Structure 1
Amino acid sequence: MATRPPRTAKLSREAIVNAALTFLDREGWDALTINALANQLGTKGPSLYNHVHSLDDLRRSVRMRVVGDIIDMLNTVGQGRTPDDAVMVMAGAYRSYAHHHPGRYSAFTRMPLGGDDPEFTEATHAAAAPVIAVLSAYGLDQESAFFAALEFWSAMHGFVLLEMTGVMSGLDTDAVFSDMVMRLAAGMRHR
């Protein structure tokens, strides 16, 4: 007979979202349901509905938190650095986040990124702001920096996915990653 975990502190929306973040990294996006999360919290599914309206509401809140965390992380690590150094540390932080928080990373990259939710669309565009700021330091105008940020994200995301799925096993992925990021930075200087 499976035992239910002991009931934890009083539930709140923030506690539920925090628990969902932990759950995501352990179980993955597709496993996140109201009942599975309630079981982790030592309660019953209906209890969560006092704090979240639906599974979609919970997932949206989780994704908004992840976007905010990524923005904060990129702003923090890139501050006060030369453009090349900022690009390298931001790329490394992004890669590290994906590896240390695979479920959260999956929530971040889940499509659609915005859809019919203007607030979420705005938040995902804001996630590019720290990268755009650094890329602008290469002399790119705002529009060029935006498209360069998309290229940067595409390269990071593609690399991380290939790495996480084992496609790059047997390679010195740290060296390949560093070389890729420096080539991207060099391309920015010559644009």
Structure 2
Amino acid sequence: MSPRIGLDFDKVLNEAAEIVDSEGFGSLTLAVLAKKLNIRPPSLYNHVAGLPALKQKLAVFGLERLFAVMEEASKGEIGDAAIRRVGASYVNFVRSHQGLYEAGCKAVDHNDKEQVAAGRKIVELSLKLLQPYGLSEQDALHAVRGLRSLLHGFVSIEQSGGFGLDLDLDQSLQFILDRYLAGLQRSSN
């Protein structure tokens, strides 16, 4: 069977991303995607090798989109102000793209070279942002893990409705990032 005219892998991937962002990562099936594309499910095999392969491509797509948002927010700068902007952009990305974010977190395959490369770009950007603190290579990696944990924890609690107090979430995020940065500044002195 030949592929449908006007339908290509990018269109399939973008429609799958819309599904996971609006309905959740777990809601993605080939039947749901085919219905959204107005095709029969077997026709999807002209573009993807199956649901696991599609989810891996979504993971890479999500990581690449997150990296692009973080890189843009850094504005080519490093240090405190850039880290604050990147942290806010990370949280805002997840608010808008919960499914893509979840794909990048859940479908981790350390043997998938594309996914490893996409994740490595985020780590390398984070390391670059941390250069002004004069951390050793190992400490810088620990600091990247700390920043990721801080941001991931924040969005996870927010997504689950865990922040029930009447307090501005963006102010809370900046407060937490400021304390993280103060700790880095103290350790670099």
Normalising to structure 2: TM-score of the pair? Answer: 0.90
Q: Following TM superposition, by how much is the alpha carbon of 1:42 offset from its aligned partner in structure 2, in angstroms?
A: 0.6
Q: Following TM superposition, by how much is the alpha carbon of 1:74 offset from its aligned partner in structure 2, in angstroms?
A: 1.1
Q: Following TM superposition, by how much is the alpha carbon of 1:171 offset from its aligned partner in structure 2, in angstroms?
A: 3.6
Query: In the alignment, is the contact (CA less than 8 A) between 1:163 and 1:169 conserved in 2?
Result: no
Residue 167 (structure 1) aligns with: 162
Query: In the alignment, is the contact (CA less than 8 A) between 1:136 and 1:142 conserved in 2?
Result: no
- How many pairs align? 183
State how 1:169-184 maps to structure 2 within 5 Å.
169-172=164-167, 173-184=169-180
State how 1:47-62 maps to structure 2 within 5 Å.
47-62=43-58
Query: In the alignment, is the contact (CA less than 8 A) between 2:77 and 2:129 conserved in 1?
Result: no
Cα separation, partners in 2 of 1:82 and 1:14, compared to 1, 3 Å: closer
What is the CA deviation profile of residues 149-170 of structure 1, one whole-angstrom value per residue up to 9, with x for unaligned ones? 1110001110111111111122
**Greater per-residue helix proportion:** 2
Q: Following TM superposition, by how much is the alpha carbon of 1:120 offset from its aligned partner in structure 2, in angstroms?
A: 1.9
**CA distance, structure 2, for counterparts of residue 39 and residue 9 of structure 1:** 17
Choose which of 104, 121, 134 in structure 2 pairs with 1:126.
Answer: 121
Residue 185 (structure 2) aligns with: 189
Choose which of 56, 61, 64 in structure 2 pairs with 1:68.
Answer: 64
Q: Following TM superposition, by how much is the alpha carbon of 1:145 offset from its aligned partner in structure 2, in angstroms?
A: 1.4
Cα separation, partners in 2 of 1:127 and 1:159, compared to 1, 3 Å: same
Q: Which runs of 5+ in 2 are unaligned?
A: none
Q: Following TM superposition, by how much is the alpha carbon of 1:9 offset from its aligned partner in structure 2, in angstroms?
A: 6.5
State how 1:129-140 maps to structure 2 within 5 Å.
129-140=124-135
**Which moves more between the two structures, 162-171 or 114-123?**
114-123
> RMSD in angstroms over aligned alpha carbons?
1.7
Choose which of 151, 158, 161 in structure 2 pairs with 1:156.
Answer: 151
Q: Following TM superposition, by how much is the alpha carbon of 1:82 offset from its aligned partner in structure 2, in angstroms?
A: 5.0
Identity percentage over the alignment?
Answer: 26
Q: Which runs of 5+ in 1 are unaligned?
A: 1-7
Residue 40 (structure 2) aligns with: 44
Residue 16 (structure 1) aligns with: 12
Q: Following TM superposition, by how much is the alpha carbon of 1:84 offset from its aligned partner in structure 2, in angstroms?
A: 0.8
**CA distance, structure 2, for counterparts of residue 161 and residue 85 of structure 1:** 24
Amino acid at match of 1:127: I
Amino acid at match of 1:120: Q
Residue 116 (structure 1) aligns with: 111
**CA distance, structure 1, for counterparts of residue 5 and residue 66 of structure 2:** 27
Query: In the alignment, is the contact (CA less than 8 A) between 2:69 and 2:93 conserved in 1?
Result: no
1:103 and 2:99 matched? yes
Alignment partner of 1:128: what SS? Answer: helix
